[in-house]
Amino acid sequence: MRYVSKDLMIVLLLLVVSIPAIQSLFIPGGFTSHDLTHHVVRQISMDKLLSEGQFPPRWSGELNNGYGYPVFLFNYPLPAMVGEIFHKLGMGYVDSVKAVLFWSMVASVLGMYLFLNALLKDRLAAFTGAIFYLYAPIRFLNVYVSAAVGSALALGILPFVFWSLVEIKKGKKWATLVGGVSLAGLILAHNVTALIFASVILAFVWFLVRRVRELRVVGVMFLLGLGLSAWFWLPATFEAQYIRFAEIFGKFYQDQFPSLWQLIRSPWGYGLSHPQNPEVGDMSYQLGLIHIGVMLILAVLIWVRRGMREIKVIGGFMLAIFIISIFLMLKVSLPLWENLPFLALVQFPLRFSAISIFSASIAAALLIKWIPIFIGVTGKKIIFAILLLLVIYANRNHWNINEVFDPGEDYYLSLNSTSTTYGEHLPKWGKVMDKPSPGKLEFVRGIGEIKMIRDKSDLVLAEVETTQSAKLRLNQFYFPGWEIKIDSKKVDFNYLSDGESYGLPIFDIDAGKHLVKANFKNTPVRNLGDFITIITVIIFITIIFKIWKLLPRAL
C-alpha cells in the first residue's frame, strides 16, 4: 500500500508539473494552426459516418464538396474515433479534437514515466525523463503550431509500446496484451510515426530480449498489434496505388531539410515549414538546447565511465539513435531519401526529431540515476531540480496558441473540403472540386425525375423515372468498391470519359421507372484486412480468458 500511495503521489505530481504545457488547450474555441480545421472536419465526418452505420468508416460522400473522398481509408482514424467519444459525451466538435490533444499530452508523460521506471527502476529518473518527453519543442509544435492531432496522439501512445516490452522481459503476461493494443493504437493514431519508430522498436527488442521464449511473446505482441490494425493499414498500403499521394509528395522532402544550426537554435513561430527559405515561413526546427545538452553529457559519461553497463548499453543505444535521427533530418542524408522509397512517406525530415526527443528524454533519466556516483544523493536531487526548471523554462514560450479562432460550430459544419491540404488522397482521375455537387445522381443525357430514397456516404438509393433512354452520373469520384445496380441488376459504368464523367461513374438507363442503387463496398484487400482484425480480436479475447486466473500473480 505504501508503494501504491507513493506511485499515486508521483502521478499527481506529474500532472501538476504538466499543467503549463496543457493549459492553453482550455482556452474556449479553436485557434489558428496548420491543421486544426482539417481535423475538425474529419471529426464531423467521423461522427456522420458512424451515425450512418459505416464501420469501419472509410468513404465520406459529403467531403470534396459532395463528390466524395476516401477520408479514413488513408487518413489515420484513431484521433477522430477517440474524439467521437468526447463528442458523444456532449462536447462540440472543436472541443472534442482539443480533448484528444489534451489527453495525448497527459498520456505521454504518464506512459514515459511507466516505461522509464520499469526500465531503470528509479522513480526520480523516470520522473525526469517523462517531463523531458513532454517539455520539448516538437511536442508543442505538434499541438499549438500544427495541431497535428495524429502525431500528438501517436507520441502519447508510443511509451506504452516500450513499457510493454520491458514488462514482457520481466515475464508479465498482461504486457503482451497491452503491447498489442498499444502497437495497434500507434499505427491507427499516425501511421507515419509508427513507420518512423519501427526500426527503433525492433532495435530495442534486439538489445533487450535474448531468450527464445521472450522473443516468441514479443512476436505474439507484434502479431496482435498488426492484426488489430490490419483493417486500416492493409487497404491503405495496397490501395495507395490508386491515389495522387505519390505525385504530390513523392519529392516533397527535398525542400524540407533544416540546417544543423536550425536544429540547435531557430526562433519560435507559427508559420509554415520552409526551412530553406525562412523569410517565407517562420516555423521553428529546434530540438531544444536542454535536450541537446543532456545528450552531450551522456556522450561524455559513456566515454569516461566505460565500465558502467547500463550507461554503456542503454545510453549507447540512445546516443546512436539520436545521431541517426539528426543525420536523417539534414540534407546530407538526401541520397538515402532518394533511394529508400518509404522515406518519402515521411514527407517532413523534421518528423525524425520525435526520435531525438525520445532518446534525449531517456538520456536525462539515465543522468539522474547515475549522478550520485559523482556527487551523492543530495547532489542528485539538486541536479534533478535544476534540470526540471531548465527544461520547463526553456519551453516557456512554446506552450501557447498563436491566436484564438472561434467562428462557431456552424462554420465547420459548412465546410466540405477534402480535410487535407492538397487533396492527396483523391484517386488519380479525381480532382478537388470548388463547387458543391448538385446531388448524388444527375442526368447528363436525357431528362427525367430523380427521387432520393436513401442518401448515405456508402449507399445511394433512388427512384429514377425517364421517358427515354438516358445517361446518369453518380456524383461520387470512382474508387475501387463502387458498385451500381439498376433494378437489382449490376450495370457497367465508365468513369474516364473526359466529356461527361470527369472521373465520376456514368451509366445508361432505359426509359421507364427504375430503382437505382449505388454501393461503396469492400474490395478483396479490405475484406482481408477486416477478416484479420476480427480473427485477431477473437484471439485477443481468448488470451484474456486464458490468463485471467494468472493475472493477480502476473501483476
Element (H, E) at 442: strand 441-445
Q: How many whole angstroms separate alpha carbon 134 and alpha carbon 463?
A: 56
Helix boundaries (H) for 414-550: 524-547
Alpha carbon 106 to chain centroid distance? 16
Q: How many whole angstroms separate alpha carbon 522 and alpha carbon 71?
A: 15
Give the dihedral of Cα atoms 452, 456, 458, 461; nearest 10 deg.
Answer: -20
Residue with cell 514560450: 397
Q: Which grid coordinates are listed for 212?
A: 527464445
Query: Are 420 and 75 within 8 A, CB to CB?
Result: yes
Q: Could you write out the DSSP letters of every residue in 321-383?
A: HHHHHHHHHSGGGHHHHHH-GGGGGG--GGGGHHHHHHHHHHHHHHHHHHTHHHHHHHHHHHH
* Long-range CB contact pairs, 431-435, < 8 A, 24+: 431/502, 431/503, 432/64, 433/64, 433/65, 433/66, 433/67, 434/65, 435/65
Q: How many whole angstroms separate alpha carbon 86 and alpha carbon 96?
A: 5
Domain boundaries, the chain: 2-409, 441-521
What Rg, from alpha-carbon coordinates, does the chain have?
A: 26
Alpha-carbon dihedral sign for residues 408, 410, 411, 416: positive
441-521, which class in CATH?
mainly beta
- Cα–Cα nearest to 176, from 130, 209, 207, 133: 209
Residue with cell 484487400: 525
Alpha-carbon dihedral sign for residues 79, 80, 85, 89: positive
Q: How many whole angstroms separate alpha carbon 246 and alpha carbon 424?
A: 8
**Phi/psi at 70 (5° precision):** -80, 60
Q: How many whole angstroms separate alpha carbon 223 and alpha carbon 202?
A: 13
What's the confidence (pLDDT) of residue 499? Answer: 62
* CA angle 366–371–372, rounded 5-degree value: 130
Strand order across the beta sheet in which 482-486 lies: 449-455, 459-466, 512-520, 482-486, 489-490
Helices (H) and strands (E) in the chain, counts: 24, 10
User: Quick one: 64 exposed, middle or buried, by C-beta within 10 A (0-12, 13-18, 19+)?
Assistant: buried
Distances (CA, A) of 554 to 5, 218, 223, 547: 20, 16, 21, 9
User: Quick one: 58 exposed, middle or buried, by C-beta within 10 A (0-12, 13-18, 19+)?
Assistant: buried
Query: Are 471 and 444 within 8 A, CB to CB?
Result: yes
Q: How many whole angstroms separate alpha carbon 245 and alpha carbon 420?
A: 11
Element (H, E) at 506: strand 506-509
* CA angle 81–83–89, rounded 5-degree value: 115
Q: Which grid coordinates are listed for 340?
A: 529508400
What's the confidence (pLDDT) of residue 554? Answer: 46
Q: How many whole angstroms separate alpha carbon 62 and alpha carbon 532?
A: 29
What's the confidence (pLDDT) of residue 308? Answer: 67
Q: For the chain, which ranges sit under pLDDT 50? A: 1, 554-555
Which pLDDT tens digit goes with each residue over 134-170? 999 999 999 999 999 999 999 999 999 999 999 999 9
Q: Omega before 267 cis (within 30°)?
A: no
SS3 236: helix
- Cα–Cα nearest to 470, from 506, 495, 443: 443
* Beta-ladder partners of 449: 465
